[in-house]
Amino acid sequence: MARIRPFCMPKWGIEMTEGTLAEWMVSEGDAFSKGQTLCLIETDKITNEVEAEYDAVVRRILVEQGGDAQPVGTLLAVFADGEASDSDIDAFVEGFTPAETGVAAKSEKQAAAPPKVTEVARAAGGAGPAKIETNRPISPEALKLAEREGVDLSNIEGSGRNGRITYQDVDQALRPAAKPLLRGTAVLPSEDGDVFATPLARRIAAIHGIDLSRVNGTGARGRISKADVLALVVVDDPASLGARPADFVAGDNAPAVEPFDRIRKVVARRLTKAKQDIPHFYLRVTARADALLELRKTANLVLGCKASVNDYIVRASAVALARHPDVNIQVHGEEIHRFPHADISIAVASPKGLVTPVVRQADRMRIDQIAAETRRLIDKASAGRLSMEDMDGGTFSVSNLGMFGVEQFDAIINPPQGAILAVGAAIRQPAEDKDGSVVFESRISLTLSVDHRAIDGAAGAQFMATLKQLIEEPEGLFT
């Protein structure tokens, strides 16, 4: 019996309502296997590869690549894993209704969208979560989560009693596939009949060349445990210090070839496109930072926070953006989207690569609130746990390499945003004082990369003037 399965526009995060099929990696008639890349889907925020979740054959492609954006839940293709006739596929497409997602309600623009999309009970104006009607057993919290995130329950196997769907099941369905870091097998420690030790203790002893027969066990029933061996590891070290380093011999220098992983592929694509498509121009300003550095100590003490210089610059950028809405924009095709508040993406180097979580409405936040939110996002990024909601959107970016001692650099715009600020290190430099004498002051270099299609030089320059003034007279950050 052939199993026919739909492939629909996925939903990545709350704000995603539609996506564009950028590229098909498979064609009609192709067989693919689990884990193979099927296509690239672009939202207005990110581009992502979609991997096959099972083995099957592409029987019908309904949405060609490079077309208009399609609503979430739109049927993109039909896969089958057995022998299905063309008429079976036709019947499937004809009878297809996006299951329980609710978000797939056909928009008026999408007259050519696939047939028979269910009209779902949604509040007028599209606000609020879509109601899910199901007769499958599901916990109340799981149902709430599924409704809030528009999850298709038909793909979820309930792990509870009698197949009841739990919160954990829905939560798992919302997460991307796992990529466990495998560390592989280890050397099996031999069981020496005379020595009574745990396997881990044996492993550590083998690594450090410790003779277990002279170790006193302090574990249960006199057994040698991890702690007993570790206590000896330090003592055994000095023996290795006397060794003389070997003479230098030039060895092999063959490169280790490492293909781009998926995050790097997306970053590479987006940055290449941004640098090629966006006519960048750059505005460079140097701001005296002495007052800011001085005020930061006091302000952090008063507010009881540990706000970094970068947090102050994010705050200054947000205040300046509120005053210059011409710069607080996104560019979508031939439209400029202006935002009332500044959602600032901060560039963070995470173990998985460059990520840009968003500090929302930073112009309305106090400096301690910005510091706390930034800390939360950086911690999440370090743990590799940033969600789509954390990275979605953003009206402006701040990238700071000052902590590495970089004095000045130019950043690439993070589309669809209109500008990005590159912040350098605070450098002590001599300057001429009013009376002609030489004084030293701290200066921070700021470079704004601007999309000239949407922002003119004067608008960018006014923004930078305000930013410079806010940094040099930082009292303005606390109004």
Partner 1 sequence: MAKMMYREAVVSTIAEEMERDDSVVVLGEDVVGGMGTAGGPEAIGGIWSTSTGLYGKFGADRVIDTPISESAIVGAAAGLALSGKRPVAELMFADFIGVCLDQIWNQIAKFRYMFGGKSRCPAVIRMAYGGGFNAAAQHSQSPHQILTGIPGLKVVMPSTPADVKGLLRQAIRDDDPVIFLEHKALYAVSGEVPDDPEFIIPFGHARLSRAGQDVTIVSSGLLLGFCETVADKLAEEGIGCDVIDLRTTSPLDEEVILDSVEVTGRIVVVDEAPPRCGLAADINALVAAKAFASLKAPPQAVTPPHTPIPFARELENAYLPSAERIEAAVRKVLDWR
Instruction: Figure out which of the listed residues 139, 225, 350, 382 binds partner 1, where binding follows CB under 8 A.
Output: 225
Instruction: Figure out which of the listed residues 95, 125, 140, 184 binds partner 1, where binding follows CB under 8 A.
Output: 184
- Cβ closer to partner 1: 54 or 478? 54
Q: Which of 208, 324, 332, 452 is catalytic?
A: 452
Determine the distance from the C-alpha atom of residue 54 to the mean position of all C-alpha atoms in its chain, rounded to a whole number: 25
- Cβ closer to partner 1: 168 or 408? 168
C-alpha distances in angstroms, 190 versus 125, 229, 324, 414?
A: 69, 16, 71, 56
The least CB distance from residue 196 to partner 1, in Å, is 7
Q: Name residue, tokens 């099957």.
A: 56
d(CA 43, CA 266): 12
Stretch that binds partner 1, among 177-185, 248-256, 426-434, 455-463 (CB under 8 A): 177-185
Binders of partner 1 in range 115-174 (CB under 8 A): 168, 172
- Cβ closer to partner 1: 20 or 166? 166
d(CA 53, CA 33): 8
The least CB distance from residue 182 to partner 1, in Å, is 5
- 83 CB-side CA count, 13 A: 0
* Selection from 258, 257, 267 nearest residue 350 by Cα: 267
Q: Does 216 bind partner 1 (CB under 8 A)?
A: no
Is the N-terminal amide bond of 176 cis, ω within 30° of 0?
no
Stretch that binds partner 1, among 20-28, 185-193, 374-382, 395-403 (CB under 8 A): 185-193
Binders of partner 1 in range 229-288 (CB under 8 A): none
d(CA 255, CA 259): 12
Q: CA quadruple 185, 187, 193, 197: dihedral positive or negative?
A: negative
d(CA 396, CA 412): 12
DSSP output for 56-67: EEEEEE-S-TT-
Instruction: Compute the CA torsion angle 268, 269, 275, 276 (nearest 10 deg).
Output: 140
| Known catalytic residue at 208 | no
Amino acid at the residue 79: F
The least CB distance from residue 152 to partner 1, in Å, is 16
Amino acid at the residue 49: E
- Cβ closer to partner 1: 34 or 275? 34
- Cβ closer to partner 1: 180 or 436? 180
Q: Does 223 bind partner 1 (CB under 8 A)?
A: yes
Give the interface size with partner 1 as a residue count (CB under 8 A): 28
Stretch that binds partner 1, among 12-20, 198-206, 325-333, 445-453 (CB under 8 A): 198-206
Q: Which residues pair with 58 in a beta bridge?
A: 79
- Cβ closer to partner 1: 48 or 328? 48
Phi-psi region of 218 (alpha: psi -120 to 50; beta: other; left: phi over 0): alpha
Q: Does 200 bind partner 1 (CB under 8 A)?
A: yes
Q: DSSP class of residue 417? A: B
Q: Name residue, tokens 């879509």.
A: 130
Stretch that binds partner 1, among 33-41, 188-196, 367-375, 462-470 (CB under 8 A): 188-196
Instruction: Figure out which of the listed residues 191, 237, 433, 456 binds partner 1, where binding follows CB under 8 A.
Output: 191
Stretch that binds partner 1, among 42-50, 82-90, 104-112, 217-225 (CB under 8 A): 217-225
- Cβ closer to partner 1: 363 or 390? 390
User: Which residues are designated catalytic?
Assistant: 452
Name the residues that contact partner 1, by CB under 8 A.
Answer: 168, 172, 175-178, 180, 182-189, 191, 193, 196, 198-200, 203, 219-221, 223, 225-226
